[in-house]
Amino acid sequence: MMHQKSKYIPQRTCIACQQKTDKKDLIRLVRTDKGSIEVDMSARKPGRGAYLCPKRRCWEMALGRKRLERALRTNIDDANRETLLAYDKIFPEGDLT
């Protein structure tokens, strides 16, 4: 049943591939008050956020070319980068290319 004429679906742009996608289909990353970057699975944490597709290609592009750090205006250390890159293991194998 449609109770509203138009339902607003929030969209966000992936910082790697620049594609606009429904917010719920993207993964939010947030800059903590310590300056590190965390994956925000709840998408509700306070702080500057950036969005990425759940695709390895986007993930690696964002981390490898520092797009994520630029988007969130911070610098992360190697340990933080490794932690974030490890998240690509949760993505489907079919998205390797």
Q: Interface residues with Zn ion (CB under 5 A)? A: 14, 16-17, 53, 58
Q: In whole angstroms, how close is the CB of 39 to Zn ion at the nearest point?
A: 15
Nearest residue (CB) to Zn ion, 16 versus 30? 16
Helix axes 78-86, 56-64, angle to 10 degrees: 170
Cβ 7 to Zn ion shortest distance, Å: 24
Distance in Å, CB of 44 to Zn ion, minimum? 21
Q: Which is nearer to Zn ion, 46 or 94 (CB)?
A: 94
Spatial separation of the C-alpha atoms in residues 2 and 55, rounded to whole Å: 32
Q: Reading across the β-sheet that carries 27-31, which strands appear in turn?
A: 37-40, 27-31, 49-52
Neighbours of 56 (CB within 10 A): 20
Q: Which is nearer to Zn ion, 30 or 51 (CB)?
A: 51
